[in-house]
Structure 1
């Protein structure tokens, strides 16, 4: 399974999302604002984004950290 996290520096919820993935053993990629993408690119991919991080799982939109946490509670690896 691949989780993708779009985040920024000094973002506690971005750090928590990465930590959650590590704790659960999820494979993830982290993309950092102004290094891997611009704000414009973020809004093209996530038009309703207002917070960081923005997260997808299996290329499906999950939301932010809270939504990832909820999603992970219901996810059962096969």
Structure 2
């Protein structure tokens, strides 16, 4: 299982997503806006997204932090 978090600086929900992954021992990668991808690339990957972070699990878009937390709770 691989989790990809697309975030930006000064984003508390991005920090919460990373913390959840670290706490639970999930392998993840963190990509930051304007460092690892542009805004245009972000909207090409997530055309309907309007918030940060946006998260993929095994290549599937799941949404943001709330959806990551729900996925984790259903996984247990």
TM normalised by structure 1 equals 0.94
Q: CA deviation at 1:26?
A: 0.3
Q: How many residues align?
A: 76
Distance (whole Å) between structure 2 residues aligned to residue 74 and residue 2 of structure 1: 17
Q: Which runs of 5+ in 2 are unaligned?
A: none
Runs of 4+ in structure 1 over 6 Å off: none
SS across alignment from 1:66: helix
Alignment partner of 1:65 is 2:68: no
**RMSD, aligned α-carbons:** 0.7
Q: CA deviation at 1:74?
A: 1.3
Distance (whole Å) between structure 1 residues aligned to residue 21 and residue 39 of structure 2: 24
SS across alignment from 1:48: coil
Q: Which runs of 5+ in 1 are unaligned?
A: none
Q: CA deviation at 1:24?
A: 1.0
Alignment partner of 1:36 is 2:36: yes
Distance (whole Å) between structure 1 residues aligned to residue 60 and residue 24 of structure 2: 19
